[in-house]
């Protein structure tokens, strides 16, 4: 058995793919985009969905915690809205000018002889804008984003149901305030990290073998979910190791110092990487 393992290591690099989250992973949280994004989400909930200001923060937290994204939670509890409208409201007004070209990261990524794929819960317009601003638009084989996992019109509610959507919403605050809730937490039609279904779908679409893939994300729960899926994991943006994280990087810029094996594995191997490069359907387009 030992011989088999050794043989495999020599013949084949340990990793053949790097899967990256986008926001707060490829650029720092200190850019301020995340804070503005949270504010825009609450404005959308108040202005477009009529949710009262006093409840915004609590509902937001409960939805984010239980459904992966606030949007996925809003759909679960009965709000119907156009995904593009939501994304353009929430992301369209972000201070993208705060993101500057990052030639250091660009060189690191281009120097890595491995497949590189983005996996983000955000929409494709946002992903393209961020990558464009960072000067990284040509560093990735493809992007798995909101639209990849949630094809258009799949789960929209019909027009005649639209008028009374307010009356049908599920009271999530009440649900969590009850010691033993009488109702069941509704499911969301939106596929997003950290759900197992979202990871499975992303790995399938990009033809990724989790055992040979390193996953980078700034979210502890995404890292935990990825570990559960069999991926190797790197928590980015902190120096504190957490459950499910194989490695931690304070900044993505430290990738070479912290993970030299990503370069070495290929240097040492005689086997050519990359036989199975597969194009992902969602293109990098602005």
Instruction: Output 17 or 37, the one with its CB closest to Mg ion.
Output: 37
Smallest separation (angstroms) from Mg ion to the CB of 235? 11
Which one of 102, 137, 218, 224 is in contact with Mg ion (CB under 5 A)?
A: 218
Report in angstroms how near the CB of residue 25 gets to Mg ion at its nearest: 5
Q: Is 224 in the site for Mg ion (CB under 5 A)?
A: no
Q: Choose the stretch contacting Mg ion; rule: CB under 5 A; options: 66-74, 99-107, 215-223, 266-274.
A: 215-223
> Among residues 147 and 218, whose Cβ is nearest to Mg ion?
218
Per the CB < 8 A criterion, the answer to whether 258 and 232 are in contact is no
Closest among 118, 145, 121 to 134, alpha carbons compared:
118
Residue 90: CB minimum distance to Mg ion, A: 15
Residues 22-41 contacting Mg ion, CB under 5 A? 23-24
Q: Name the strand (E) or helix (H) holding 216.
A: strand 213-217
Stretch of 14-22, 69-77, 149-157, 262-270 contacting Mg ion, by CB under 5 A: 14-22
Minimum CB separation of residue 116 from Mg ion in Å reads 16
Q: Which stretch binds Mg ion (CB under 5 A): 19-27, 104-112, 148-156, 229-237?
A: 19-27
Pairing of strands 115-119, 213-217: unpaired
Residues 263-282 that bind Mg ion (CB under 5 A): none
How many Cα neighbours within 13 Å face the side chain of 70? 19
- Listed residue (79, 202, 203) closest to 147, CA to CA: 202
Give the total of residues touching Mg ion (CB under 5 A): 4
* DSSP, residue by residue, 228-273: HTT-EEEEES-SS--TT-SEEESSGGGHHHH-THHHHHHHH--SPS
For residue 21, state whether it binds Mg ion (rule: CB under 5 A).
yes
C-alpha of 132 from chain center: 18
What minimum distance in Å lies between the beta carbon of 148 and Mg ion? 16
Query: What is the C-alpha to C-alpha distance for residues 85 and 195, in angstroms, rounded to an integer?
Result: 24
Nearer to Mg ion, 16 or 217 (CB): 217
Beta carbon of residue 193, minimum distance to Mg ion (angstroms, whole number): 9
Write out the two tokens for 82: 């156009």
Cα 156 to chain centroid distance, Å, stands at 22
Minimum Å gap between C-beta 122 and Mg ion is 9
* Region of 68-76, 99-107, 127-135, 211-219 interacting with Mg ion (CB under 5 A): 211-219
Give CA angle at 138 (100, 16), nearest 5°: 115
- Which residue number, 245 or 265, has a Cβ lying nearer to Mg ion? 245
List the structure tokens of 168: 């049908």
Applying CB under 5 A, the residues found at the interface with Mg ion are: 21, 23-24, 218
């Amino acid at each position: 058995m030992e011989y088999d393992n050794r043989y495999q290591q020599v013949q084949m690099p340990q990793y053949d793919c790097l899967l990256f989250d986008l926001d707060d992973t490829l650029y720092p949280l200190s850019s301020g985009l995340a804070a503005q994004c949270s504010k825009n989400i609450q404005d959308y909930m108040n202005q477009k969905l009529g949710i009262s200001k006093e409840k915004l923060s609590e509902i937001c937290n409960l939805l984010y915690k239980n459904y992966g994204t606030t949007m996925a939670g809003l759909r679960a509890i009965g709000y119907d809205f156009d995904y593009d409208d939501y994304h353009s409201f929430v992301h369209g007004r972000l201070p993208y000018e705060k993101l500057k070209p990052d030639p250091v990261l660009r060189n690191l990524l281009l120097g890595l002889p491995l497949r590189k794929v983005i996996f983000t819960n955000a929409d494709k317009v946002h992903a393209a804008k961020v990558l464009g601003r960072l000067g990284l638009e040509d560093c990735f084989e493809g992007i798995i984003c909101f639209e990849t996992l949630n094809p258009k019109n799949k789960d929209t509610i019909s027009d005649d149901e639209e008028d009374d959507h307010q009356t049908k919403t599920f009271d999530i605050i009440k649900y969590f305030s009850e010691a033993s809730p009488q109702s069941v937490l509704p499911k969301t039609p939106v596929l997003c990290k950290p759900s197992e279904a979202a990871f499975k779908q992303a790995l399938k679409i990009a033809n990724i073998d989790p055992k040979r893939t390193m996953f980078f994300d700034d979210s502890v729960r995404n890292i935990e979910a990825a570990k559960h899926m069999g991926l190797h994991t790197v928590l980015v943006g902190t120096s504190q190791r957490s459950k499910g994280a194989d490695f931690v990087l304070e900044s993505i810029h430290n990738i070479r110092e912290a993970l030299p094996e990503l370069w070495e594995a290929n240097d040492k191997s005689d086997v050519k990487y990359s036989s199975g490069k597969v194009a992902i359907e969602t293109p990098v387009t602005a």
